[in-house]
Structure 1
């Protein structure tokens, strides 16, 4: 019975750490954002910082870039390379970063 308690305890610890692990592993395509969008608040840049932003704002902007309703220089071409599911995954990951 003690072994079962230990196993359940370990499973609980592992399961509770999964959201933390998921937040730290970027989905495909997310790493390319940091080429222009700084991941640190200290960096001075005219390009908007995405870490910690609302996921819905990011999805709305990317969808606008993709359909041409939001003017851009390069984001329209970049956004066209992602599906809706990929955009939501990237936006959720970026929003979870602090």
Structure 2
């Protein structure tokens, strides 16, 4: 009986964890994460001349670049360190945010 209860609880935890990971983050939370990029990439990803704008950039390209920075496949002055501060799911959400912005 104890084994059945333990198994049921384990299954319940696994399902709850999977559901939490598949839910879309709150748009205001994503906007807050993206705001951390404004110092270099401008408000809503529209950078000043001389910096890289992120607004309207392809989502998949942004995700790939961020994951490349995060894993160290690409080095940079700052981005490889900043990328490590985000989960993969956060990176996907932030990339989606910038992709949806007008250039």
After TM superposition, is the score higher than 0.5?
yes
Q: TM-score, normalised by structure 1?
A: 0.67
Structure 1 residue runs of 4 or more that deviate by more than 3 Å after TM superposition: none
Residue in 2 that maps onto 1:75: 79
Q: Spell out, residue by residue over 1:4-43, the C-alpha distance to the aligned partner (whole angstroms, 9 max, x if none).
A: xxxxxxxxxxxxxxxxxx5xx46041111111012436x3
**Is 1:44 aligned with 2:49?**
yes
Cα distance, 1:95 vs structure 2: 0.2
Q: Secondary structure at the match of 2:62?
A: helix
Instruction: Give the superposed CA RMSD.
Output: 1.6
* Structure 1 spans left out of the alignment, 5+ residues: 1-21
Q: How many residues align?
A: 73
Correspondences of 1:49-60 after superposition (within 5 Å): 49-60=53-64
Distance 1:40 1:29 in 2: 16
* Structure 2 spans left out of the alignment, 5+ residues: 1-26
Contact 2:46 2:54 in 1 (8 A): no
Q: TM-score, normalised by structure 2?
A: 0.64
- Relative contact order, CA 8 A, sep 6+: which one is greater? 1
